[in-house]
A = this chain, B = another copy of it.
Amino acid sequence: MALDADSIARSFAERGLRLTRQRRAVVDAVAAAGASLSALQVFDAARERCPELGLTTVYRTLEVLSEIGAVRRVHGPDHCEAFVPAGAVHGHTVVCSSCGRATEFTQCDMHAVVDAAARQTGYEITEHFLQLSGICAACNAAAGAPGPSGKGAG
């Protein structure tokens, strides 16, 4: 289930849920963000579109979006951190350790790794959770040349 308006609307309808103005604001805020967002950041962003929105509704909506696969959670090494839009049924997230930008990737042929792990541990492996981090193209370019430094986190 992707994070486009139509799919969302359909998923909500299927569950007997209404796609209210508040919920739309949350969806739009997550979709518009290029980076992963905490619940509070979603709240702040969404309130610019819908000032009377409450934090409670943000949590409730993110929960639904997570259930229908429209957003994915990002885990840091220490904490459960944030949400990112999920565009593909099976996809993973690369997070830029410099600026926080999050991008989805879908080319994850894990057969070799999964086979090796199965052989080593004796488990029958059914799922993989993979999350990469690195430097995004923009940050990489900025690091090599002087110029208008964007938003940096570091």
Contacts and interface: CB of A to CB of B under 8 A. Distances in A.
B97 A121 contact: no
B124 A116 contact: no
Interface string A52-96: 000000000000001000000101011110000000000010101
Contacts of A78: 66, 73, 80
A110 B107 contact: no
Contact residues of A: prevailing secondary structure: mixed
A136 B123 contact: yes
A130 B127 contact: no
This chain's copy number in the assembly: 2
B112 A126 contact: no
Interface residues of A, number: 47
B77 A129 contact: yes
Interface string A112-150: 111011111111111111111111110010000000000
Contact of A124 (B73, B109, B125, B154): B154
A123 B126 CA distance: 28
Nearest to A126: B134
Contacts of A133: 125-129
A32 interface: no
Contacts of A131: 128-130
A137 B108 contact: no
10 contacts: A75-B80, A103-B123, A105-B120, A108-B117, A117-B132, A118-B134, A123-B135, A124-B154, A128-B131, A129-B131
